[in-house]
Amino acid sequence: MRKSVVWEERLVKGFLWFSVLATLGTLIIILGHIFQHGLSLISLEFLLDSPRKMGREGGIFPSIIGTLYLIAVALIIAAPVGIFAAIYLTEYTRKGRIVRAIRYSVETLAGIPSIVFGLFGFAFFVIFLGFSWSILSGGLTLAAMVLPTIIRTSEEAIKSVPTIYREGSLALGATKWQTIYKIVLPSALPGIVTGIILSIGRAVGETAAVLLSAGSSLNLPTSVMDPARSLAVHLFILTSEGISFKMGYATATVLIIMILIINLAANFIMRRMSTTRAI
Amino acid sequence: MARKYEGTIEKILQLSALAAILVVFLISLFILIEGYPVIAKYGLGHFLLGGQWYPLDGLFGIMPMIIGSFIVTFGALLLGVPFGIGCAIFLAEFAPMWMTKVLRPGIELLAGIPSVVYGFFGLVVLVPLIMDTFGGRGFSVLAASVVLAIMILPTVINISEDAIRAVPREYKEGSFALGATHWQTVKMVILPTAQSGIVASIVLGMGRAIGETMAVIMVAGNVTAIPGSFLDPVRTLTANIALEMGYAAGDHMSALFATGIVLFVIIMFLNFLITLVPKRVIDQ
């Protein structure tokens, strides 16, 4: 082999290894830095206490509750709508002008920047519908944001159910909906659940849209009409306004641990799905 | 009988699917309604081409922010795309099994980390680092581009890798049979075939970078002037909205919604570009 070819091969492989190590290295540096400063600050007291002095002291309990509340509202709306939409797109029609318009809308929704969702949430839910800065406004805005994720993953999951399952059910005299409800959805469930878990991840990390629609109140929310400050918004305000980097590290650590758990759960379900499907 | 409900159920499913269209329609409508007044009052030229943003004096020029968004995004692509494509080639072609097992969850985690956490990391590590190395205040185009480059990596890697994996085996085998080395095959056969998917991954990464808000605000400095160098502070379109929505009213608020319209149009244009990219060259 010519020498230049050998050298090019070595050079390229070197670069490929370098890109991979740089990517992993970046991740490790970020996680390492935040954990190094934040892990020791996490305690039960930090998780269950209310913030004092704008968040300089105390804990993050109201933000944890606010985040959970926002996720709940978003999923109560987006999960059924998204799953129904996916069923319609896969089981009922696959072609036609309306379907194309729906697909284009889903693509568009997936690409819209979160700050634009925030503007929309503010103009529509907060002002026009009069929900003011509240968990309801924030949750509905988040529902619009995660809708494309739920539709796409559910569609993939439903599509991967073998046609023979449907044919068997129909042959036994089941109606179309009975087949979907009793055969297709149970088989597609792990994929659908994975999509929902990924949506939770997105909702946990979202900041801009939540800030504009749910507000940034530090009080413990007691109903969906109360404003709330999610964990991500709390981290943003703590650090960008220079209130407390220490509390920022602790909050960032909690956020990363939540994302780690969410990713692990999604992977676990995905792996179980692929093993059961193989049988 | 169950059969009676079949029609009703189909209607409910259809309505759910139509919700996606409704949401896009409502978003466009409300942003237009809120943003249009300031454009009508001051003119599109003043708004898009004006270099001065002094909302209290009725000056609403967003040119510096448009340029800012594009400079920061361009910087992110310059820094992020080579590594992203490198990782994608490595994962699809060269990676040993154990490396894939480490790398894939790593990339998923990179995609899942909230943008505020990236911003915070940029603020406490990157900004001081840039200040010490190059001078200046650290809040800069460079800081924003580096943070965004990290954030677009998962998008570029995942979509490029899919495109590379979609290249049929026969192409690769044919090239090997002709005596080409692995890298020669990648360079001459696989990458040209996967080209359209790789381009799509870059365009999607660009969309993500332009749309990112919180991470950029925390490291970019947010001064409303066109940056003269990569060490100057910069304000993006997204930052402009998020920074001032808290206290804006009247024309000022309308101008922020109009900034949102510009952002929306840019993203729609990028989406349109992706539809131009042929889905699968191989099928033809």
Give tens-digit pLDDT for B61-78. 999 999 999 999 999 999
- For residue B86, is pLDDT > 80? yes
pLDDT at residue B2 in the model: 58
Whether residue A276 lies within 8 A of chain B, CB to CB, comes out as no
Whether residue A7 lies within 8 A of chain B, CB to CB, comes out as no
Instruction: Please report which confidence band the pLDDT of residue A41 belongs to, taking 50, 70 and 90 as the band edges.
Output: very high
Instruction: Please report which confidence band the pLDDT of residue B85 belongs to, taking 50, 70 and 90 as the band edges.
Output: very high
- For residue A159, is pLDDT > 60? yes
pLDDT at residue B282 in the model: 44
Which H/E stretch holds residue B59?
A: strand B59-60
Provide the mean pLDDT of chain B: 92
Class of CATH domain B63-283 = mainly alpha
Whether residue A60 lies within 8 A of chain B, CB to CB, comes out as no
Q: How far is B207 from chain A (nearest CA, A)?
A: 7
* A238 in Cβ contact with A55 (< 8 Å): yes
pLDDT at residue B284 in the model: 37
Mean pLDDT of A226-245: 94
Instruction: Please report which confidence band the pLDDT of residue A275 belongs to, taking 50, 70 and 90 as the band edges.
Output: low
DSSP labels for chain A?
--HHHHHHHHHHHHHHHHHHHHHHHHHHHHHHHHHHHHGGG--HHHHHSPEEGGGTEE--HHHHHHHHHHHHHHHHHHHHHHHHHHHIIIII-S-SHHHHHHHHHHHHHHHS-HHHHHHHIIIIIIIIS---SSHHHHHHHHHHHHHHHHHHHHHHHHHTS-HHHHHHHHHTT--HHHHIIIIIHHHHHHHHHHHHHHHHHHHHH--HHHHHHH----SPP-STTS----HHHHHHHHHHTTS-HHHHHHHHHHHHHHHHHHHHHHHHHHHHHHHHHH-
* B54 in Cβ contact with B267 (< 8 Å): no
- For residue A215, is pLDDT > 80? yes
Characterize the bridge pairing of strands A51-52 and B53-54: unpaired
The Cα B56–Cα B59 span in angstroms is 7
pLDDT at residue A161 in the model: 92
Nearest residue on chain A to B27, judged by CA atoms?
A120
Instruction: Please report which confidence band the pLDDT of residue B110 belongs to, taking 50, 70 and 90 as the band edges.
Output: very high
* A190 in Cβ contact with A269 (< 8 Å): yes
The Cα B177–Cα B180 span in angstroms is 7
pLDDT at residue A1 in the model: 64
* B102 in Cβ contact with A32 (< 8 Å): no
Q: Tokens 């001064």 — which residue?
A: B223
pLDDT at residue A279 in the model: 39
Q: B16–A109: do the CB atoms touch at under 8 Å?
A: no
Q: B245–A118: do the CB atoms touch at under 8 Å?
A: yes
Instruction: Please report which confidence band the pLDDT of residue B283 belongs to, taking 50, 70 and 90 as the band edges.
Output: very low
Instruction: Using CA atoms of A247, A253, A257, A263 in order, give the dihedral in degrees to the nearest 10.
Output: 120
pLDDT at residue A277 in the model: 52
- For residue B281, is pLDDT > 60? no
Record the tokens describing residue B74, joined without a space: 């361009």
A-B Cβ pairs (cutoff 8 Å, strict):
241
Q: At what angle do helices A245-278 and A231-240 cross, to 10 degrees?
A: 150
Taking contacts as CB-CB distances below 8 angstroms, the residues of chain B near A118 are 241-242, 245
* A33 in Cβ contact with B125 (< 8 Å): yes
Helices (H) and strands (E) in chain B, counts: 13, 2
For residue A232, the one-letter residue type is: A
pLDDT at residue A5 in the model: 85
Nearest residue on chain B to A22, judged by CA atoms?
B83
Taking contacts as CB-CB distances below 8 angstroms, the residues of chain B near A31 are 109
Torsions phi, psi for B65 (to 5 deg): -75, -35
Q: B20–A176: do the CB atoms touch at under 8 Å?
A: no
- For residue B273, is pLDDT > 90? no
Record the tokens describing residue A119, joined without a space: 């503007």
Provide the mean pLDDT of chain A: 92
DSSP state of B55: G
DSSP state of B221: B
For residue A33, the one-letter residue type is: H
Q: B106–A212: do the CB atoms touch at under 8 Å?
A: no
Whether residue A33 lies within 8 A of chain B, CB to CB, comes out as yes
pTM of full prediction above 0.90: yes
Whether residue A260 lies within 8 A of chain B, CB to CB, comes out as yes
Instruction: Please report which confidence band the pLDDT of residue A269 belongs to, taking 50, 70 and 90 as the band edges.
Output: confident
Q: A113–B213: do the CB atoms touch at under 8 Å?
A: yes
Q: Which residue has the higher pLDDT, B278 or B147?
A: B147
Q: B212–A113: do the CB atoms touch at under 8 Å?
A: yes
Interface of A with B in 105-134 (CB under 8 A): 105-109, 111-120, 122-124, 128
pLDDT at residue B4 in the model: 74
> Is the ipTM here above 0.95?
no
Q: B241–A34: do the CB atoms touch at under 8 Å?
A: no
Mean pLDDT check: name the lowest of A224-233, A263-272, B190-199, B245-254: A263-272
Chosen from B214, B253, B256, B273 to mutate, greatest number of chain A CBs within 10 A: B214
The Cα A197–Cα B58 span in angstroms is 46
- For residue B259, is pLDDT > 90? yes
Mean pLDDT of B92-116: 92
Q: How far is B54 from chain A (nearest CA, A)?
A: 21
Domain range annotation of chain B:
2-49, 63-283
Instruction: Please report which confidence band the pLDDT of residue A112 belongs to, taking 50, 70 and 90 as the band edges.
Output: very high
pLDDT at residue A270 in the model: 80
Q: B82–A19: do the CB atoms touch at under 8 Å?
A: yes
The Cα B136–Cα B142 span in angstroms is 12
Q: B114–A80: do the CB atoms touch at under 8 Å?
A: no
Mean pLDDT of B211-225: 94
Instruction: Please report which confidence band the pLDDT of residue A278 belongs to, taking 50, 70 and 90 as the band edges.
Output: very low
